Structure 1
Amino acid sequence: MRWFLPLMVAGGVAMSLTAPLEVVFAREFWHTGLFLGIFMLSASVGMILVDVFGTRFIPGLDAKLALTAGLVFFGVATIGLGVAGGGVPLMAARVLQGIGGGVVMGAGLQAAVRVRPVAGDVIQSVGRFNAAFLFGGAIGAPGGLLVAGLIEGRLGYQAAFVGTGVLALVVAAALSLAVPKLLAPAGIEPARIGLPRFDGTPGSRAALVLAMSGDFLRGGVLFTALPLAGATLGYSTMIISLGIAMMSGVEIVVLLIAYRYIRSDGVVTVLIASFALGIVCAVLLAVVPGQPTYLFASALFGVSLAGATVSLPVLVVAQVGDSSAGLAKFRISAGIGLLVGMVGCAVLGAQLGMGVLFAVVAVVLLACAQLARVVGRRMAPT
């Protein structure tokens, strides 16, 4: 099992390499806000389909097999993005990419609690998986933009997509060889495709709504708003890549120390502080133009993103425990947050401008901070 977490780091790298690049790619070659929205929506739809209809399917599978299959789907689809000329093939590749990503994230949570199946160790197991995947994501996020900046024209984007897809396939092969079977525990119903059954499963509605916010930040700010803002303001691909790199570098540092503050100050305190810092960053980007502000706010957003995305799974898992249905609830909430973030930010930015977009982000984060206070009052210190 010693290879599980390193491979999850590698998986995080592969799945994030082109994520901030995709909205810049779509904007450069297809200029309408409608196309941007559809392009970002297509991957999110694939992920949500898995989160909803796979809720009774993925928990019943061998988690290693599901993870491997998800990475293969993702890799093939990302290569497809690199070679598709546009239209239906491009959108089909995006949907398939979202399906692969949804399978990886859903199976990853199941695998995390099966790698160390010790009673009372669920929060720590999910926390380790989450930290490993986020760490890989932070390393990989600037990579695709960097490749596109070094290789001129559409060829740079194609090289980034094809290289990312190949990396995902390599990680899938390594996972299939290095990790043993991770079968479903006793009591899990056989795998079947169907709508979820959540009656009687733990997890408050407020906490599950709050669970959307971490993926809203990642999908909306890191993957969409910051790259789109840089492209709209005429910054070079290298400047956008530098902003994402600064955000990711800060995120890596915060990921290394965040659990220390969660243990000492509590998960809700860390979460509210993360949202508050995100509000400051969004306001700066809305009212103070210029490259220095863009780079400074990008770096600070790394603190906000890391704090929120580390805290939220801990908060939700503290309520749902090792319930497979409870973990699936979290994945559905996160998928909705990703969809709202990616599509909403793409459409708002293209139609109403960057100032309005970041003002809306600030309002959403303020609402999330208030919701975190409500959830915090209802739960024991975590």
Structure 2
Amino acid sequence: MSRVLLGGGFVMVALVTAMGVRDLTIQDVIALVVLIGLYAVAFRTVFQHVRRRSTAVHSTVPTEPALIGMLFLLPLGLVPLAVLLAQLLGDPHLGRAPREIVRTLAIRALNGWHCVGPVLVLSLTGVTEPDPARWRVLLLALAAQFVFDLGSGALRAAALGDGVTPILRPMAWTFAIDAALAVIGFCAVATGLGLPMTLVLVAVPIGLVALLAGDRRELAHSTVRLDREISDAREEARLDPLTGLGNRRAWSEAVEAAEAALTDGTLRADVVVADIDGLKEANDSRGHEAGDALIRAMAEVAAATAPPRTTVCRTGGDEFALLRLVDRDAPPVDELVHVLRQAVLARGEVAGGPFSVAVAGASCPQQPTIAQAFRVGDAAVNADKQMRRVARVGSGHVPAPREPTAGHDSGRPAGRASTL
């Protein structure tokens, strides 16, 4: 409500002062139209400034040269209305629903109070020409602009319950920019080169700042886009392209993070290593499509059976690994091994051939590190595969899958492998 009242007050001021203007010339109309357009362009140009060692972002709009042009090229009574129209024209939400127009008009008009101060000073002193000899009056007009701008901001902040202190720093930065642009605008209108050239000179700093702000936006967009591409590339570098699971790098990162989480002594890390049987034979006898199908099948089974918050990775050509963090009193890792074994058995044949997997589990702190638990599981899996390979060569056939030893499902010693 406070914003509506303050903005509505400026609208009334703009209308009342404009009603007192008489006998507009063609030059006045031309200057009015051009300066409103320049002000609108500047009003759309938000120039941001980030303070070093701070997260604060301050912003301002380079409207000061256009305001200076209005003060000295238009009847003073038209300046508030010209500012109001320019701000509405520069509002990117100008075409919103009709029921919002009044509220939008009032809120946008809040930013127009800054022009009232210099209009009052110049009207009371009778200064209507950009005369450098009247520099004291010009400084007073600039100071009045800052007072009105700060006053309207303080009233709005107080109405919102925010206090005045938070707005002082951004307002000080805005005033510094406006002071610099005021000098440029004054020099443009004081040249005496005629209305067309004066309007061009007023437009130059606005255009330069608009281009600079556009470059900053483009740089910001490019930076965000580059960061996203780098993030995507890093993510892709952690993924196995065939299965969509994490790769060896992702596994190493997960192990490092899990090792750090174990330092409080309340958690246990379970590692399950699984190795597909006969992948090379499948590639040689049935083609690489069959081998890829085995790999994808193992990835699907592992991902489907893994408990929540479990890392599943393809750590080698035919090797997969699972890592989970649980409370120390949680069920042993053999239960996860059993679930994975049953899921593989239920899968049946893949790509017209057998689908079996050797799997073993180990835990930390039973093993001193997660890396050591992985090595224990990996060694158990490799030993089992080697034993069955020797048996296969000696007998001429693949031995039937061995049932786990008694007690496997509830507490088989970590590191022993079972064939799936």
TM-score, reference length from structure 2 = 0.24
Name the structure where strand makes up a greater proportion of residues: 2
Name the structure where helix makes up a greater proportion of residues: 1
